[in-house]
Structure 1
Amino acid sequence: MRQLLDGHATFRREFAAGAAPFLQKLASEHQSPGALYIGCSDSRVVPELLTSSAPGDLFVVRNIANAVPPLNDADASVGAALDYALEVLHVEHVVVCGHYGCGGVKAVLDGHKKLKQMTSLYEWLDHLAPSILASRIELVDPEEQWRAAVEANVMQQLVNLTTFPAVRKRLEAEELWLHGWVYDLHSGGVTVFDPAGERFVPAEHALERGPV
Structure 2
Amino acid sequence: MGIRRVEPDDEKAVETAVRLLDEAFQDDPVSSWVFPDPARRREVHRHLMRAFLEISLAEGHADLTEDGTATALWIDVPAEPEEGDGPEEGDGEDGPAQLRAAVDPDNERVEQIGRLTGAVHPHGRAHTYLLLIAVAPDRQGRGDGAALIAPVLERCDREGLPAYLEASSARSSVLYERLGFVHLGEPLRLPDGPLMYPMWREPRG
Report the TM-score range of the alignment, normalised by the length of the smaller protein: 0.3 to 0.5
TM-score in terms of structure 2 length: 0.34
TM-score in terms of structure 1 length: 0.33
Larger Rg computed on CA atoms: 1
